[in-house]
Amino acid sequence: MSSHHKINVCRGELHVIAYRAMLDVSRELALQVSHLLAAQRRRRGTRKGTRALACFRQAVLGLRWFRQHADITALGRDHGISRATAYRYVDEVIEVLAAQAPDLHDALLHAKEEGVAYVILDGKVFSADRYGEKTVSAKGKLIDLWYSGKAHEHGGNMQALSAPDGFPLWVADVEPGSAHDLTAAREHVLGALYWAASQLSLPTLADGGYEGTGIGVHTPIKQPAGGQKLHADNRTYNALLRGLRALGERGFAVLTGRWRTLHHITASPRKISKIVKAALVLTQIEHGHLT
């Protein structure tokens, strides 16, 4: 899929050079996003011919932002619209995609129907611009709410479930970067995982950060205190658990590797939820998990 780009060269006068570039997404994906935008316009009662871009061109604008992490001002210039309009159009693409993100219970039911033997629970801090909101830590100190001590940067903590092969199935709403993975998991996903284990016979595998989550969520057995060694059976259990988790924990990498805008989010960190959910939907559409 091609699009026009423009470069400004200043030597006393403004010169514009037009060239063509390839956007490495399928036309089918752009058409699906276009259909979602068209449905949104119908719901809003938008009259034909009143928008600066048709739905397909707006879809391309949004896909360029996700895929290339392109500057929105430059995107607006390339598409012949103002900076403010470009921001609004990208936000609309994010909204219509995020609205298609799978519900947690639906994702678990679908995984079971597809014959998945277990799911992988993992958390990630998505990097974002610094946000000045404060909170009081467990030690009573005033800290930046969106700063993650684990990742050593500002961002938002998101929990996700992946299939054993590492394909992302579901992502939670964002929690501030200062939230621990276990805290975020308790807020958004553990209740459903207990249900899946008891009602669907669908267990969850997780790393040591989720120790103590409860029945149905399997985590490594901790090393005993006092320098004692784990029993051979427990060491074998941990090795098997690590082996099973290894591929499944690439779910976030699938998203960030494909959609570069997730590398660092310059919008408010409170928008991380919708941006990551939109990227999940794009990935699932590309792989035929959503139609």
- How far apart, in whole angstroms, are the C-alpha atoms of residue 73 and residue 1? 21
| Structure confidence at residue 291 (pLDDT) | 63
- How far apart, in whole angstroms, are the C-alpha atoms of residue 81 and residue 229? 65
pTM metric for this prediction = 0.89
| Structure confidence at residue 141 (pLDDT) | 83
| Structure confidence at residue 225 (pLDDT) | 82
- How far apart, in whole angstroms, are the C-alpha atoms of residue 148 and residue 179? 8
| Structure confidence at residue 12 (pLDDT) | 52
| Structure confidence at residue 226 (pLDDT) | 78
| Structure confidence at residue 137 (pLDDT) | 79
Is-contact 127 153, C-beta < 8 A?
yes
- pLDDT tens digit at each of 291 positions of the chain: 545 554 455 455 555 566 566 788 999 999 999 999 999 999 999 888 889 999 999 999 999 999 999 899 999 999 999 999 999 999 999 999 999 999 999 999 999 999 999 999 999 999 998 877 888 877 888 888 999 988 899 999 999 999 999 999 999 999 999 999 999 999 999 999 999 999 999 999 999 999 989 889 999 999 888 778 899 999 999 999 999 998 888 999 999 999 999 999 998 899 999 999 999 999 999 998 876
